[in-house]
Each structure stands twice: as C-alpha cells, then as structure tokens.
C-alpha cells in the first residue's frame, strides 16, 4: 500500500500511508436508555445490546422514545 486517494470539494487528494485501518459497524452508546431502565435486547447482527422499541421508537418506559442509531442499526 502506498496511500489513500479521495475527492474533497471537487479536488482529488492523496495521503501517503503504509497502513490502512478499517472499522465496519457502529455500536451506539445506550447508557442513557440503560440508566432509564428501558428493556434491552441482544442484537445478534451487531453483537451488542439495544433498547427494545416499537415501530414508533417508543421504549418499555413511558414517555421515553429512541430514534436513529440508538434504536438499532440495520
């Protein structure tokens, strides 16, 4: 490997590098839903806990809803 090339602002750029580290997958931080005592389920695809939500994002705790990555990715 010699480097990484990408486009930014319409310009092609290259950064010289001998190593490239990749990260696939994001594990959302669910500390707030755990602190609020929302029920969590094990997500086998993410290999992480996620809050249990319905189709509207409502959790098992009244008036607590989760949206976006915090409700699960995928």
Q: Using one digit for the tens of pLDDT, what is the confidence trace for 1-48?
A: 899 999 999 999 999 999 888 777 677 889 999 999 999 999 898 888
> Residue 27's domain spans which residues?
3-71
Q: How confident is the model at residue 74 (pLDDT cuts 50, 70, 90)?
A: low
Question: Please, are residues 48 and 73 in contact by the beta-carbon 8 Å criterion?
Answer: no
Counted domains in the chain: 1
Can you tell me the mean pLDDT for 42-62? 93
Distance CA 27, CA 42 (A): 12
| pTM across the whole model | 0.63
**Three-point CA angle 24, 27, 33, nearest 5°:** 170
């Amino acid at each position: 490997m010699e480097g990484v090339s990408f486009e930014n602002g319409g310009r092609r750029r290259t950064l010289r590098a001998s190593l490239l580290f990749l990260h696939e997958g994001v594990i959302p931080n669910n500390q707030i839903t755990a602190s609020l005592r929302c029920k969590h389920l094990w997500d086998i695809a993410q290999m992480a806990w996620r809050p249990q939500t319905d189709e509207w994002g409502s959790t098992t705790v009244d008036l607590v809803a989760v949206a976006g990555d915090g409700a699960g990715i995928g």
